[in-house]
Structure 1
Amino acid sequence: MTLPTSTSDSDLGLVHGSATAVEAPATPTPFDRLPHLTLGKVSIGFPVVQAALSGYSDGPMRIVARRHGASYSLCEVMLDQFLITLKDRKRTSHFLHLTDEEHPVGGQLMGAEPEQFALGARKLVEAGFDVIDINFGCPVRKVLGRCRGGFHLSQPKVALEIVRRTRDTVPAEIPVTVKMRRGIDDSAESRDKFFEILDGAFDAGVAGITVHGRTVEQRYVGPSRWEFLTEVKRHVGSKRILGSGDLFTAADCLEMLRRTGIDGVTVARGAIGNPWIFAQARALAAGRPLPEPPTLHVQRELLREHFRLAEGTYGERRAAVLMRKFGIKYAALHPEYETVRAAYGSVLGRDDWNRLLDLHYGEDRPGVHPDPHRHRSAGEGSGEGESCD
């Protein structure tokens, strides 16, 4: 990939400017030059970021991702109606709570009506989010049934009215971005509507668009078509395009950048339980070898810290329930995956969590790189694919 060069950000393998989609070199690494990602006036930096993922990318996960190399993160998607009626209550206060170390951070919004979208966006701005992201990609059936998420890819006029109203409501200095899939299905009509929304959104002033390489109809079944991302990037030229879909390893992230020429990638399922993916991508981009997977003691310390962050956000009992699903994902880095995965299901509180860590992570043994097939199978029918990413 031919990219503009710069001496700044050399420790991260970054250069300022946008990638262009040209013939990729035969050897994918070292990636000693990558585009320094910006969205409007917001400087992101390293172009491998944490995606929004319903039920997962809450405050604790975002903080963990940032501490492990993610240059930017997005909150889990929030409904416009929910935001408009949200009261300052302890049980829901975490949705709009941000910490200093999270910035820059994006707030993702989903809904059906253009008027309510704008009101919801205003609430995200008031909460301090640096970027407002519009979700036109969620493939969950109940979301589609309520004319939200990926449903908007079937109605360009409504989708673009949402974009325009949101852009008009949000202060000019705060970027508005859009998340899309490559269409409702593989029909020519769906393709035409995708490009109508893509072009119209940029005309309305969005700072960037993330494109998932699957259709809404596919949900999480079958491969993500990265070649479509190449086509989109060539179509828009210097405008910002980020890619999503089938990013389960650090090498996947760099390979998507190399093959497609897009400006950045957003990691969703591949970062759950593996925040080290961001530091690994930085190492590969700088031409260094892939770091060894974290040892069990390193994993143990992070698991304790993640639980502490969750407990501070939700309280002990609720944190324990929520952290089970994270623990199951972290178990993929343990050499005794099946045993450890099962153990997380019985956690009821902080003491259970700590006993599990002492039992299964007490001996400092080498960890393993997670098997990408576990992420793929989870998204293809286990129920976990019923998240919006």
Structure 2
Amino acid sequence: MQNSVVPREGSQNNATVARLRESTTWQQEFRPLVIGNVNIGFPVVQAALSGYSDLPMRTIARRLGASYSVCEVMLDQFLLALNKRQKTKHFLDIHPEEHPVGGQLMGAEPEQFSQGAMKLVDAGFDIIDVNFGCPVKKVLGRCRGGFHLSQPEVAIDILQRTRDMVPDTIPVTVKMRRGIDDTNESRDAFFQILDGALNAGLAAATVHGRTVVQRYVGPSRWEFLADVKSHVGDRMKILGSGDLFSADDCLRMMRQTGIDGVTVARGAIGNPWIFSQAIALANGEPLPDPPSLHQQAAVLIDHFELCEESYGETRAPLLMRKFGIKYSQSHPDHENVRLGFARIKSRDDFDTVLEKYYGDNGPGRHVPRECHGSQEE
């Protein structure tokens, strides 16, 4: 693999991010997030995102201020089918910069589920997260994800077996939606499962303010999160999810509901700056300016190189298309940039898009190193 001439250490505004991380002003209003024995710190983290939150995306989020991230969901059957040679593939890879990092698991059968959780433990994930929130029809039809909210006994059995199987030093958490639908029966089932999670010894629950039936339609009911936090008190950490598309959204959710933290999902795809922006706002600083084209390009280059390291030179450009499309939303000529990224087939194609849309002689791998040294602020 050819190395980019852009030094990673200088391409992430890491002096600014380090300064924000070192400040403790935000602790005057928000408590540091601790899950079990894992000290997360700033309570705005990256959620698990199916098809997106792989090693490259998680690493970029960490470099830009995320204090914790969760790997895209893994199916228990898939994990149990991996042999020793396959286990070295990218699915379970963790970058040295990532820790703490969570592994998320989805499945149907309690015994198989707990065995799959141990695969994530063996891979080195610091926290194991159980997915009871996925609203995709194919997942529900196979009695996985959000389907478990309709069968509290099975859901609690999964949580108990997983907690019993996973070593005590590894926290177990659960991701839920506020119910299958808006009926009283669904609400009762939600709190039955939540109480079961508490009794099983789970350290935290992430709650999405929509129902499974809603999927992503309609507003997320943040007031439900306040009810959940009131219900558990200090016995369990509660993180919120849903309609978090800006740094201000993240802080407002915590202020309005009293929850312990938030997990940014779709709002972080192509927008890893949301984490450093949230830290800045929490520290009482003005909202940082949007990333310049030069800063956007530098992050894109780092993301591409991480893809090359994870997937190889041939696959990386194809996988980078979907990320480039999301990053293009921060560009003033986003429609043309989106089309450009959608067509890339090679590293040269990627560089061409950068050179064309991100400034004169944009910061691609062919630009002299010294051209990238003035972007810290």
* Counterpart for residue 18 of structure 2: none
Normalised by the size of structure 1, how large is the TM-score?
A: 0.86
1:363: Cα distance to partner?
A: 3.9
1:88: Cα distance to partner?
A: 4.1
Distance change >3 Å, CA 317–CA 128, structure 1 → 2: same
Distance change >3 Å, CA 12–CA 340, structure 1 → 2: farther
| 1:214-239 alpha-carbon deviations (Å, 9 max, x no partner) | 00000000000000001111111112
Structure 1 unaligned segments of length 5 or more: list them: 1-8, 16-31, 366-389
Correspondent of 1:328 among 325, 328, 347? 325
Matches within 5 A, 1:7-26: 11-15=23-27
Correspondent of 1:290 among 287, 290, 315? 287
SS state at 2:130 partner: strand
**1:52 and 1:74 in contact (8 A); partners too:** yes
* Counterpart for residue 229 of structure 1: 225
* Counterpart for residue 372 of structure 1: none
* Counterpart for residue 62 of structure 2: 66
| 1:71-90 alpha-carbon deviations (Å, 9 max, x no partner) | 00000000000000113456
Identity of aligned residues (%): 67
1:250: Cα distance to partner?
A: 0.4
Correspondent of 2:92 among 75, 91, 96? 96
Correspondent of 1:146 among 142, 152, 161? 142
| 1:339-381 alpha-carbon deviations (Å, 9 max, x no partner) | 111111110011100110010002499xxxxxxxxxxxxxxxx
* Counterpart for residue 303 of structure 2: 306
Correspondent of 1:220 among 196, 203, 216? 216
Correspondent of 2:265 among 262, 265, 268? 268
1:14: Cα distance to partner?
A: 4.3
Distance 1:157 1:364 in 2: 61
1:202 counterpart = 2:198: yes
Structure 2 unaligned segments of length 5 or more: list them: 1-20, 363-377
Spell out structure 1 runs of 4+ moving beyond 6 A: none
Distance change >3 Å, CA 276–CA 347, structure 1 → 2: same
Distance 1:167 1:307 in 2: 37
Distance change >3 Å, CA 12–CA 335, structure 1 → 2: farther
* Counterpart for residue 315 of structure 1: 312
* Counterpart for residue 163 of structure 1: 159
1:181 counterpart = 2:162: no
The one-letter code matched in structure 2 to 1:201 is A
Distance change >3 Å, CA 126–CA 90, structure 1 → 2: closer
* Counterpart for residue 346 of structure 1: 343
Q: How large is the RMSD of aligned CA atoms in angstroms?
A: 1.5
The one-letter code matched in structure 1 to 2:302 is E
* Counterpart for residue 359 of structure 2: 362
**2:173 and 2:205 in contact (8 A); partners too:** yes
Distance change >3 Å, CA 364–CA 190, structure 1 → 2: farther
**2:146 and 2:177 in contact (8 A); partners too:** yes
Distance 2:127 2:341 in 1: 35
Distance change >3 Å, CA 275–CA 364, structure 1 → 2: farther
Distance 2:271 2:173 in 1: 26
* Counterpart for residue 123 of structure 1: 119
1:108 counterpart = 2:104: yes
* Counterpart for residue 47 of structure 1: 43
Distance 1:33 1:114 in 2: 40
1:135: Cα distance to partner?
A: 0.1
**1:13 and 1:34 in contact (8 A); partners too:** no
The one-letter code matched in structure 1 to 2:266 is R
* Counterpart for residue 376 of structure 1: none
**1:12 and 1:285 in contact (8 A); partners too:** no
| 1:283-315 alpha-carbon deviations (Å, 9 max, x no partner) | 000000000011101111111110000011001
Distance change >3 Å, CA 335–CA 161, structure 1 → 2: same
**2:177 and 2:209 in contact (8 A); partners too:** yes
1:201: Cα distance to partner?
A: 0.6
Distance 2:262 2:145 in 1: 20
**1:74 and 1:106 in contact (8 A); partners too:** yes
| 1:150-203 alpha-carbon deviations (Å, 9 max, x no partner) | 000000000000000000000001100000000000001000000000111111
**1:13 and 1:282 in contact (8 A); partners too:** no
Distance change >3 Å, CA 363–CA 256, structure 1 → 2: farther
Distance 1:88 1:363 in 2: 48
1:100: Cα distance to partner?
A: 1.6
* Equivalences, count: 341
**2:355 and 2:361 in contact (8 A); partners too:** no
